[in-house]
Structure 1
Amino acid sequence: MDIKDLTKVESQLMQVLWKLEKAFVKEIISELPDPKPAYSSVSTIIRILENKGVIAYEAFGKTHRYYPLITKEEYMLYETEKLLDNYFSSSVQDMFSFFVREKKVDMKDAEQLLKMIDKMED
């Protein structure tokens, strides 16, 4: 599947759909933080997501119930690979050392990750 980049707002709506699995626009809006966006705004973004091929719908008369066509894990993998390719020359080691240097990962976490990797290699 060819995954497309999502804007911040599109990603926020996808988070809701991944959580709810299937939802009408009103249900999506109810999950969003206050102040709630207008129904028409959410509906427009939903149509954009549909055009990007990441959601589809079931028709119930004039209303539609939307559902994701990609999993959260598929999108996370896509975004992670994009991050690796664009900023770290596809090197997990370079990315990991960056996070350690920036104190986003402390040494205790780093040790736990290394133990996890060792177990996976066995």
Structure 2
Amino acid sequence: MASLPNYRPKQLSLGPLETEILNIVWELGEATVKDVHDRILADPDRELAYASVTTVLRRLTNKGWLSYEKRGRTFFWQPMLTRGEAQVIKAHDRLQQFLAVGNPDVVAAFADSLDSASIEQLNAIAQRIAEARLAREEGK
């Protein structure tokens, strides 16, 4: 079971271009501005200034999604977490927002709207939660 990572970006919300560029860096593992720019321009219907890519990479760094290393005159950006870790953090954040509502009627209305596939998923989640609690109790 994936646990909540210790590291968390300063800001979770990302715009569409930030998300696209972060996905490119995840795919490449490490990327320069040129790597990202070339990947975007591989689509003949796209136009994006080189400087815009630089700006977005810096913004992702400021938000805590990327770090960089300078080698010679070139900056290489790396993700601060894996795509899977990011999914866990975002899911946890959404769950916390949902639970913050604190109104049992809202939660019940949500539960009533689930279809059978979702109920199967919830049962699997409930089983994993029970297993995690048992493991935690055994570790005490």
Number of positions where the alignment pairs a residue of Structure 1 with one of Structure 2:
118
1:17-53 C-alpha deviation (Å, 9 max, x unpaired): 1111011112112333541321101101111222233
The Cα RMSD (Å) is: 3.2
Partner of 2:123: 114
> Unaligned regions of 5+ residues in structure 1, if any?
none
1:1-122 alignment, distance < 5 Å: 1-5=7-11, 6-8=13-15, 9-32=17-40, 34-89=45-100, 98=110, 101=113, 106-108=115-117, 110-111=119-120, 114-115=123-124, 118=127, 121=130
- The share of aligned pairs that are identical, in percent, is 27
> Unaligned regions of 5+ residues in structure 2, if any?
1-6, 132-140
TM, length-normalised to structure 2 = 0.63
Larger-gyration structure (1/2) = 2
Alpha-carbon separation, structure 2, partners of 1:79 and 1:20? 22
CA change 1:4–1:10 in 2 (3 A) is farther
TM, length-normalised to structure 1 = 0.70
